[in-house]
Structure formats: C-alpha cells, structure tokens
Structure 1
Amino acid sequence: MAVRARTRSGEPAGCTGCGQLSEWCHSRYARRLADVTLAGRPLRIDLSVRRLYCENTTCPKATFAEQVPGLTMRYQRRTPRLQSLVEDVGVVLVGRGGSRMLRILNIRLSRVAVLSQLMRVPLPPLVTPRVLGVDDFALYGGTYGTLLVDATTRLPLTLWEKRDAEQLGHWLREHPGVEVACRDGSLTYRQGITAGAPEAVQVSDRFHLWQGISRRVQDIASTHRGCLPAALPTVSEDDRPPIEETTENAAAASRAGRHAQSLFEAVQALTRSGRSHSSVARALGLDRRTVGKYARARTWQEVMRRPPRKPSTLDPYLDYLRQRWDEGQHSAKILHEELQAKGYLGHYQRVKMAVAPLRRGLPIDEPRERPPSPREAARWITTHPHRRSPHINERLPRLLEHCPELKLTHDLVRRFATMVDNRDAAPLPGWLSDLASSGLAPLAGLAGALHEDRHAVAQGITTSYNSGGNEGRIIDVKLQKRIMAGRAGIRLLSGR
C-alpha cells in the first residue's frame, strides 16, 4: 500500500546547518519512507519534499532538504514510528529473533539491519551514583567482565571486559562522587576502589562473606569425611544384617572389586614411599583426584562401596516377597501378579530385580540410610538452628559430639551468624583471632583474608548496603547472553 504526499510551497523551513528559516526553493525530489503496517499490510509513503537555499551567507550549507516533524529524519528511509518499533524489537530480541518478530508484523528486515539499528540507539546519560555496586561475571570461557550498578536505583551503569583494578580506579576518578562501594572480597576491586575513590566507604557483601565461610566448612567436612557416618542412628547387633561378610566376599570376587583392590594396593604402596599424589597419578595413569581418594581410604571396600539404594514403591511389599520365596514361589512373573492384586502399581522388572539376590543366596537389598555428604554436613552447620528440620536436629548433635573439629567449626560459624543477625561487629576482632588459632587450615586461611579486609567486613555486618542489586543485574546479563547464544560482545551487551 502506497500513500503519495508533498510538502506545501511557500512555507519556510529551518536550515539543518544553522537553523535559519528559508523559503527560497532550489528544487524538489521524492523520498520513499516505510511506515508501520496498516491493517497488517506494508505501508509506503512517497513524499515530495523541497530542497531550499540557505540565505545565511556564513552557513557552510548552500542548500538543505526540508524535514517534516514526526514523519522524516535525516538519512533515514523509515518513519520515526517504524524506527522506534525496530529499535524496541531489537532491544528485546536482538538480531535473528528481532528479524523473525518483524516478519510476523509484515516488516522485512534482516538480522544485520536490526543489529545495526540497535547499535545506533544512544545510551542514557550516566549519572554518578552515591552508592556503587561492583561485581564480576563470566563473559565467555575463562574470561570475566566487570559490571557497575547503581545500588540505590539497582540500574546498571556500565560494563567492560576483564577484572582490572586500574580500569576501575580510572572510571572512579572520571566520575567523582561515589561515597559507598559494595563489592565482594576480591583484592582486585579493593585496590581499584582504594586508588580511584580513597574517601569512599568499602562494604564487603554479607552474601559473599557467608558463601566464603560455607565453602571452608565444606572443605573441613571433606577432610573429616570418615566422621560423617557418626550422624546415623546406632544399629544394634540384633538389627544388623548378618550377611556383611557374604556381601564383601561377593564384591571381592567381582571384576570391579578386583580392580578396586589392585588400584588401592598400588596407590597405597607408592604413597607410603613418600611420593606425591601428582607423581603417583602420572605413574599409574590416573587422575590426581582419584589417587587422593584411594590414598585417603583405609580399606579398598571404602572405595568400592555402592551408594545405598533409594526407597521405592516396592519397599512395603518386601516382607511378602521373602515369605512367598521361602514358601517356594520363585517365579518373578507370578510374584508380580500377586503384588498387583495387593495394590502394587510398579513394573514387573522391579520385582524381578528385587528377587535376583535371593537366587544367589543373598538377602533382598533393602534401602539403608546413607551418611551425609560433606556438602550436606556443611549445609547442616550453616543453617540457622530454627530453620533445621527434625531430621537434621536429630543427627547433627551426634556428628558434632563425635568430631571435635566439626564442633569447633559449628561454634565459630554460629558466632559469625550472631554478629550478622545483630548487626554488631564488636566481637569481630576476637572472632578472627579464634578463627586463626582454630588449628583448621581452611579457617585459618580465611581469617588471614578477612583480617586484611576487616574494615569492609565490619561495614558489611553493620550497614544495610549489599550487592543484591549486582547479583540481579548479572542474572540479566547472563539472560541476554543466552538469548544471543553466547555470541554477544561487550558493546552489544552494553547496548541491551
């Protein structure tokens, strides 16, 4: 659909160079402008406009083309309405997605054209914030970027590639006025803020502080992995299955058991001779973490041990299966039909696998409670006592009573949590001293890092400033990257 129009003669138009009005017509020419669709049909405007002489002798322009407000723009073949639509679609959906959406609206533009229009959109003016948030994000591969956020309005300010203290200091010197800077425990950002805004109060984010402590607790739990089974309820001799030795003999006779036993003996022999884990890994062709696992184990059965079976819908019928097996019914098909009559809705294959140990003279594999993993134990310790489930409240005291190191870790973590809850940093120096003298390497290393940054840590405990806005905007950046299949660079991410 085409609409033909022309501008009126005799009306003055402003020069695009100096702004002086002129009515002196030089000539006319036709402009073809694309507009938004009308009733779903493409709309083209054939507009005849004038070229006028500029009557200002000092103006560098001899002639200029008149512009119709709201309809034409210089060097543009789209109307402002259509241009605004293309820019909005480009901001939301970028190249290919924006091109597909515009095609649905009956506007034909390539992905390159949509990207080109997006890159031409001017960025909003940057206003120096009073409270600045600084954080890093994964850009691609092993490369990270830096994102600055206004912590008051939670709006992004700018971002750049790499984590560079010099670049952050340069930005702060160019934009004076930052009074508070929220960051994580990064030494790079600490140095950059100190160099660029020495008067600004630095705040170490509570989330990152707690995250760092949780990682150290998990490292300690991993070191004392052998204590974790103490969290399980004690089993009396009458309740203990009498087939432990039979099961171990069956595992030793299997191919996997023989392989685990041979590797255990080889690793133990080399590590006892004083060789490092890396040297043993190169000699045996294993991964260093695998060598560490075999070196920490006391017996080869610890490495070979299968994870306990999870509960299933067949568990309520295990006693009936044993009874029918002892009565002489050894057909899995008939047993499955009998269980179906009793309300079992599971598959025949599960019944067949359940009675398979009975054919070899072994008991039915019943679900057993497994000991907590180091990550679970760390979560038990770092969770607030009022938010722990009865299951945790029953097992955690047994674990702490059995392992003094984990009990000491628990007490130190709860002391720090009390400081954060009460917004009181007065006990911080004593807590750091106890952390350093705890005798636990992960906590001692953390104490050294926190002592160097103790002023920012105290601000993070006592003030209400945090890096929550930074984390939310980093999620937005990751979303934009995923929408663009990870191919977006810094310039395109900044525009979006």
Structure 2
Amino acid sequence: MRFPADVPSGGRRVVLRLRVRRFRCLDRVCPRRTFVEQIPGFTRKHGQRTERLCATLASVGLALAGRAGVRLSAILGMSVSRSTVLRLVNALPEPDIPSPRVVGVDEYATRRGHVYGTVLVDVETRRPVDLLPDREASSVAGWLAAHPGIEVVCRDRAPFFAEGVRAGAPQAIQVADRWHLWNNLGDAAERAVARHRQCLRVLLPGSVGKAQAMADAHEPALSGETAASPWKSDRFANRIWASHATVHAMLEAGHSRRSIGRQLHMTHRTVKSLADAARPEDLFTVQYRFNRATAVDEYKPYLDKRWDEGCTNAWKVWEEIIPLGCTGSYGIVSAYIRKKRTSPRPVTAQPPIPRAVTRWILSRPETLTDTEHIRLKEVLANCPELEALTGHVRPFAEMLTERQGHRLRRHDLLLCRVRVIFRAEPSANAYRIFHVLHCGRTQQQGDK
C-alpha cells in the first residue's frame, strides 16, 4: 500500500490509497533485491507526492521562490518546507531555449572588485540565456561558437568582450547599447568638468559683504581695555583667588612646592606663579597673550592675504615669510592661523562639485529645480567650454533617448565607420580604410 500526497480538491485534503505490486528477485547476486511497480504519470520512485502535486509546487517555487512559495502553498492546502520547494525547482530539467538572434553581453560581480562573471541576455525577449563563471575572452568566444545563429552582439566597451566576439562570432555585428553609451558620455563629461574646476567658483550676489559684516561684528578686539580677555571673567577670577589662598595656606603650614603640586595636581610652573604672587590681583595684571608684540606682526597682512587665497597650512606660510626676513618661530604663525580657523569666516556660496555640475548637464532641463537652474546658468556663464559641452551633450541625449539616429550628420557617420574599421583592424592604414568604406562590407556595420 502506498499513500502519496496529492493536490487538494475543493479545499479539502485528498488521501490516496494505492495498491501496487512488489517484485522480488530470487538471484542472490542481484543488487536490486526488490522493486515496486510505478503508475506512469502519477507516481515516481521513492516519491511521497504525486506528479501533479510536484508540478504544482515547482510552478509556485518558480514564481515565488522558497519562503513566499511556502506561504502561498499553505494557503492552498499544500503545506511543505522551503527546502522541498527549492529542491523541486532544482530537479526541473533545463528549459530548451532557442538560440538567440540578438544577444547582450555584460559582466556581473559575485564579489565586487575580486570575482566577476559574464551574463548573456536575449535582447529581443529580455530574458537571461546563460551565465559564464568568468569574463575571459575565451569563455565568451566558446559560447558564441556553440550558438552560430547570432547576428548582433550588444556589449559594453570592454576590450576582452570585443576580442571574444571577434573570435567566436566574426559574422555578428557588434553594437553598444544605450546604457553604456550614456554611461561613457557621463564619465567623459565629468572628466571635462573636473578639468575646469576653477570655473566653478561662483559666489551668490551680495553674500560677501553681508558675511564680512557678520565676521567683523563677531571679531573680538585684541587691544586696549575692550579686549575680551578670559583673565577678567568672574569664573576664572574666583578660581584664581581660591587657588592662591590654598597654596599660601599650605606654604605657611610647612609644605614644599613640590608637595603642593602633587597634592593639588598642579604643575611646578603653576605653583610657582601662585606662590610668588603676593596678592591674587597681581595675577590679573598679566598681559593677554594675543596683545603681545610678536616677530610676525609686520607680516600679518601677508598671512591674511594668503589665507584669503585659500592657503591654510601654517607650515607652508611660515616657510614663505622666512625668506622675507621674518625671525618668528613656527609656533607663533601656527597660533595666528589657528585663531583665524576658530574665528567666524565669511559665509560664501560653496562652489559646486564636478559631479553635481555633470548631473545638471546630463539631466533633462525640466527636471532641474530653480536653484539648480540658476547655479548651472552661472557656471556656464563663467566657462564657455562647459557651455559648449552642454550644447553637445543635450542634443545627443535627445537623439539617444528618442532614437533619432537620422539626425547624425554625414561626417559623423563616416567617423563611426572609420572607428569600426580601426577596432576590427587596429593596424589599418588610410588606403585600407578607403578600400573598406567603398567595398560595402563595413558600411552596414557603421550604420548600425
């Protein structure tokens, strides 16, 4: 008796009881001592489910894979595990896919930067055809040679794919798909924008004067009685008075200065200054350090000029003022530059990065915001080269997206044909190019 599971009927579980014959072999040497008869199209060897239930679960697995397929199967009354669904899918025979006429070749990554493979897609049906374990030219050539009916190969600009197509399908026309054309155009446009980085320094109108006024308002005075000195703050003064009283009390009790510094966690220099001061007020008369005359005072205009030019490296500007006669140390220059870093700086419009400008140029004009329109207009007004680049990119983008290849000029088509010849024969000379253009063998490839 066998009890194979079957497809539910009317929402109810179906229980099958099959009586089949078991045959036994009387030959002791026979490896198959016993076997059971099968019902064709209904049961299989060692099968716990009927053929139609296996086919139904395999169809659910193909559509939804493991976990989602299990959830749907439970609703339909066919409770199985996700491993069973995937096992049934893997047991299906490979589909008989006809040889494609137009195939797309591209790479995919199983581990980005380390392990790559090749995917082949039927461009007409937009379905994957095969996966190759690597992206070598020999693998692509072998696959193409095994499928002789290929007429067009749509690939990216990788040289190993071009070599594989030439070796495996020399009769096929090699074309670049629109995505790779647009991607290559975007990379070239970004490199062109990066070469004109200096033209991207655009300031918003009126931002400089307003920012300078704000900086002047927040700039502390460093001379005279109006200096914002921390020596005159109440919080600091109370701490000085308390420390002065504590140090003098311990001195009168007979403690040494070293012992006082160890107990109060003060340096020897701090204990000495507190002990030498007869009154706490004597410590407040110390001149604020930024008011002291230094050896770089007469070179501060030069330092300010270099700061405005964008040079914020203290070591570099110190090396520049030494030949001018400055005798100050690097520490004084570094302190002055550090003060300029912490002081409020003029708020100016940040220049756009090359990638942002490239996105503005490559985007449809109607998709840009008003701010992006204004900033792009300012950039193009400052750089005629980028304006010319925009004038070339946007008509080409319109031809590419709207598939208006007839708008290409005649000499552009001629250049395309010449490039096709050079890729097929890198050592071709002018006579060879002239001969191939007139024989018509490459003319159709150039048109494509």
Shorter chain as denominator, the TM-score bin is 0.5 to 0.7
**Which of 127, 146, 158 pairs up with 1:155?**
127
**Aligned residue pairs: how many?**
312
- Cα 1:414–1:190 shift into 2, 3 Å: same
Structure 1 residues without counterparts, runs of 5 or longer: 1-29, 54-60, 251-260, 273-299, 306-359, 433-447, 464-496
Structure 2 unaligned segments of length 5 or more: list them.
Answer: 25-31, 222-306, 321-336, 427-436, 438-442
Counterpart for residue 376 of structure 2? 396
- Percent identical among aligned pairs is 35
Distance 1:387 1:241, change over 3 A: same
Say if 1:224 and 1:122 are closer, same or farther in 2 by CA, change over 3 A: same
Per-residue deviation at 1:39?
5.7
Aligned to 2:352: 372
Q: CA deviation at 1:375?
A: 2.2
Distance in 2 separating the partners of 1:425 and 1:204? 19
Write the deviation string for residues 173-227 of structure 1: whole angstroms up to 9, x where unpaired. Answer: 1111100111111212111111110110001112211112212322333444443
1:85 to 36, 47, 56: 56
1:136 CA displacement: 2.0
1:31 equivalent in alignment to 2:2:
yes
> In the superposition, relative to structure 1, how do residues 38 and 226 fare at CA in structure 2: closer, same or farther (>3 Å)?
same
Q: Which has the higher contact order (CA 8 A, sep 6+)?
A: 1
Structure in which a larger fraction of residues adopt strand: 1
The answer to which of 110-119 and 62-71 deviates more is 62-71
**Structure 1 residue 117: deviation in Å?**
1.5
CA 1:246–1:407: 2 relative to 1, 3 Å: farther
Contact 2:413 2:447 in 1 (8 A): no
Residue-by-residue CA offset, 1:75-123 (whole Å, 9 max, x unaligned): 4221122101221232234344444554555545343333222211112
Q: Could you list the per-position Cα deviations for residues 420-445 of structure 1 after superposition, in whole angstroms to 9, with x for gaps in the alignment?
A: 4641264438989xxxxxxxxxxxxx
Match of 1:123, SS state, is coil
Following superposition, which runs of at least 4 residues in structure 1 exceed 6 angstroms of deviation? 61-64, 247-250, 429-432, 448-451, 458-461
Describe the shift of the 1:165–1:207 C-alpha distance in structure 2 as closer, same or farther (beyond 3 A). Answer: same
Give yes or no for contact 1:412–1:431 (8 Å, CA) kept in 2: no
Q: What CA RMSD, in Å, does the superposition of the two structures yield over aligned residues? A: 4.7
Which of 44, 51, 63 pairs up with 1:73?
Answer: 44
Label 1:384 to 1:99 Cα distance change in 2 as closer, same or farther (>3 A): closer
Q: Which residue of 2 aligns with 1:21?
A: none
Mapped partners of 1:372, 1:244: distance in 2: 24
Determine if the alignment matches structure 1 residue 120 to structure 2 residue 91.
yes
Cα deviation digits, residues 409-465 of structure 1 (max 9, x gap): 334434644764641264438989xxxxxxxxxxxxxxx99975899xx989965xx
Larger Rg: 2
Indicate conservation of the 8 Å contact 1:206/1:461, yes or no.
Answer: no
Residue in structure 1 matched with residue 393 of structure 2 by the alignment: 413
Q: TM-score, normalised by structure 1?
A: 0.51
Is the CA contact 1:416–1:431 (under 8 Å) kept in the aligned structure 2?
no
1:205 maps onto 2:185 in alignment = no
Matched, 1:137 2:108: yes
User: Using the alignment, how far apart are the partners of 2:366 and 2:445 within structure 1?
Assistant: 24
Deviations 1:125-155 (A, max 9, x none): 0211111111222323432232211111222
Distance change in 2, residues 1:247/1:180 (3 Å)? farther
Whole-Å separation in 1 of the counterparts to 2:132 and 2:93:
17
CA drift of 1:248 comes to: 8.3
CA distance in 2, matches of 1:247, 1:406: 39
